[in-house]
Amino acid sequence: MATQIGRLNTLRVVKEKEFGVYLNAEELGEILLPRRYVPKGLEIGQDVEVFVYLDSEDKLIATTDLPKAQVGEFAGLTAIAVNQVGAFFDWGLPKDLLVPFSQQKNRVEEGETHLLFIYLDNITNRIVATTRIDTLLNREEAPYKSGDKVSIIIGDKTDIGFKCIIENRFWGVLFFEDAFRQLRKGEKTTGFIKRIREDGKIDLSLQEVGYKKVRNILDDIMDYLDAHGGESPLTDKASPEAIYAVFKVSKATYKKALGALYKDKKIQLTKEKISKI
């Protein structure tokens, strides 16, 4: 497989120097992996997984450090500098990620977090990014069904909730009622498909949908009671934050689960506590 700039690659060590080792990148030639990134015990003839990019002098270089996202992916990143060329974002590598002015949907200011798409400039081989991402999403019919587990990136806050990027492929909406914990723009997390609307738009949830989400925490509640002497102060009056901190579900889901356990005569409920029967 051809070595890809801006992606993880598995390359073979072919030469060793005091300042590092050289890796065989086939058509791209030999690429330096500086000494500070060389894993202990790595020898000539062995393979190593590295990220390949251009350093500050536009020379190909390898690193075992992982960026926050790779070429072909979306990410929520924060701008750390702006100059006459464009905005530079922290993506976890020594050389910051450039978003040229021509690739900014709205003018980026230092300190702002934006959703970006990272790509390779085919002319310069430089890794750059764009905030003009709308046309890169929703290019096909969504293959999901209600209840599917997906990876999401939290985007802009709107009047009804949060825009989210789903699996690097689609826009979705996480309504406030389904966002029961504090979220930050650019955060990567797990979500669930709540519904696919007739117009193709996708609604999301941070927890499993339907009664399944209730059923899945019943054992967690009983295990918690067992571990705490058969009692818990987390009644149905507890704060959403306290409930989420322990069970990672919304207060509404937690209350439904308590109701199910009470109906099955597994717990007793008072204003002060829950007790195992």
Amino acid 231: pLDDT: 83
Tokens of 25: 């990148």
Which one has a higher pLDDT value, 215 or 85?
A: 85
Mean pLDDT score across all residues of the chain: 90
- How far apart, in whole angstroms, are the C-alpha atoms of residue 267 and residue 277? 5
Rounded to whole angstroms, the Cα distance separating 118 from 51 reads 14
Most confidently modeled range among 57-61, 221-225, 270-274: 57-61
Closest CA to 71 of 197, 168, 166: 168
Confidence bin at 182 (pLDDT 50/70/90): confident
What is the identity of the amino acid at 56? S
Exposure of 147 by Cβ count < 10 A (0-12 exposed, 13-18 middle, 19+ buried)? middle
Residue 189's alpha-carbon distances to 128, 167, 223, in angstroms, are 24, 11, 25
How many angstroms from the chain centroid is the CA of residue 189? 5
Q: Is the pLDDT of residue 214 over 70?
A: no
pLDDT band at 227 (very low <50, low <70, confident <90, very high): confident
Backbone angles phi, psi at 259, to 5 degrees: -60, -40
Token digits for 158? 């709107």
Across the strands, what pairs with 52?
62
pLDDT confidence band for 179 (50 / 70 / 90)? confident
Choose among 204, 203, 200: nearest CA to 140. Answer: 200
SS3 state of residue 201: coil
Do 53 and 5 form a contact (C-beta atoms < 8 A)?
A: yes
> Among 50-59, 122-131, 210-219, which is the least confidently predicted range?
210-219
Is residue 153 within 8 A of residue 199, CB to CB? The reply is no
Burial track 184-202 (b if 16+ CB lie within 10 A, e otherwise) = ebbeeeebbbbebeeeeeb
Region 259-270 average pLDDT: 82
Residue 203 makes CB contacts below 8 A (sequence gap 6+) with 172, 173, 174, 175, 178, 193, 194, 195, 196, 197
Contact 240, 251 (CB under 8 A): yes
How are strands ordered across the β-sheet holding 231-232?
A: 231-232, 274-276, 267-269
